[in-house]
A and B are shown apart, each in its own frame.
Chain A
Amino acid sequence: AQTVTQSQPEMSVQEAETVTLSCTYDTSESNYYLFWYKQPPSRQMILVIRQEAYKQQNATENRFSVNFQKAAKSFSLKISDSQLGDTAMYFCAFWGGSNYKLTFGKGTLLTVNP
């Protein structure tokens, strides 16, 4: 069974600064996908970024980028130029194999301070 671990329950960052959220996972699958989801106070789950394990290049989406270390089973999210609207719970998630489901970490609550 896959597991996803987010070791930082809470983090804070000043507006305009850069912050990195950590995620590690455990799997025996060779092909899989990793995701970061954002959940603002509105409660809506929003996909931030996706990484396919067979791609060596790290995914980027505007101010969001990942550091994917496949051998270390690490998948961190970097948010550059943090904005107040980035304040949210962030979930790391794993999909792999034929079990049709996402496995989520417990989340990191990020607060961006003015």
Chain B
Amino acid sequence: NAGVTQTPKFRVLKTGQSMTLLCAQDMNHEYMYWYRQDPGMGLRLIHYSVGEGTTAKGEVPDGYNVSRLKKQNFLLGLESAAPSQTSVYFCASSYPRGGRAYNEQFFGPGTRLTVL
């Protein structure tokens, strides 16, 4: 049981390049999330998904796209990377208990992305 895994762990991009971050969970969780963490800002939600085939915008969605084609995977895409997207990206998943969204969110180890 690997929990939540993220690929890659580190990446350096040049401005304008594109890339996809992969999040995978093996806990059969319904909900998945992408956050970014910047110094002094805490974690801010980029996009989230409440089930396979569904996605929704979070607090800071601009410049990112996501897809949830399979329940266990949640992809975060940067079509044209910008230096402002230099950050640490975290994926998380949770299972809604009793029909509510809350349950403990399990976090991946993070991806450090630098855009030059």
Chain A positions near chain B (C-beta within 8 angstroms): 4, 9, 33, 42-45, 47, 50, 91, 95, 98-102, 104-107
Judge if B88 is at the interface, Cβ distance under 8 Å: yes
Closest-by-CB residue of A relative to B50 is A100
- Pairs across A and B, CB under 8 Å, 14 listed: A33-B102, A45-B107, A91-B42, A91-B43, A98-B100, A98-B101, A99-B101, A100-B31, A100-B50, A100-B56, A101-B45, A101-B58, A102-B45, A105-B42
Choose among A42, A44, A47, A106 the residue that contacts B42 (Cβ–Cβ < 8 A). A106
The smallest beta-carbon distance between B29 and chain A, in angstroms, is: 12
Q: Is the CB of A44 within 8 A of B109?
A: yes
Q: Given A43-B88, A91-B43, check contact A101 B107 (CB 8 Å).
A: no
Q: Is the CB of A104 within 8 A of B42?
A: yes
Q: Given A45-B90, A45-B107, A100-B31, check contact A106 B40 (CB 8 Å).
A: yes
Residues in chain B near residue A101, CB distance under 8 A: 33, 45, 48, 58, 101
Size band of the interface chain B makes with A: 20 to 34
CA of A107 to CA of B90, assembled, Å: 16
Q: Which of A42, A99, A101 has the most CB of B within 10 A?
A: A101
Judge if B18 is at the interface, Cβ distance under 8 Å: no
Residues in chain B near residue A33, CB distance under 8 A: 102
The smallest beta-carbon distance between A104 and chain B, in angstroms, is: 4
Choose among A50, A98, A100, A104 the residue that contacts B43 (Cβ–Cβ < 8 A). A104
Q: Is the CB of A9 within 8 A of B48?
A: no
CA of A109 to CA of B101, assembled, Å: 29
Residues in chain B near residue A91, CB distance under 8 A: 42-43
Q: Given A43-B88, A43-B110, A45-B90, check contact A102 B42 (CB 8 Å).
A: no
Q: Given A91-B43, A106-B40, check contact A47 B31 (CB 8 Å).
A: no
| Cβ < 8 Å to A, chain B residues 57-111 | 58, 88, 90, 92, 100-102, 104-105, 107, 109-110
Q: Is the CB of A9 within 8 A of B102?
A: no
Q: Is the CB of A44 within 8 A of B48?
A: no
CA of A18 to CA of B16, assembled, Å: 49
